[in-house]
Amino acid sequence: MGHVGNSDREYNHLLQQRLDRKVEGAPYSPTLMKIFKLLWTPEE
């Protein structure tokens, strides 16, 4: 089970990297990480 032990920060970073590959882009920023925290709880 690869998801066990991964931190929320790591999941958010992986999501940010994936979104940044899109044409619109999503460069890393503290604001983007705050938005992710608002959208998803650690249980999700």
pLDDT digits (tens, 9 = 90+) for 1-44: 455 556 778 888 898 999 999 988 999 999 999 998 898 877 76
pLDDT at 8: 75
pLDDT at 1: 44
Q: In this structure, which amino acid lies at residue 12?
A: N
Strand blocks (E) in the chain: none
The answer to whether the beta carbons of residues 34 and 13 sit under 8 Å apart is: no
pLDDT at 3: 54
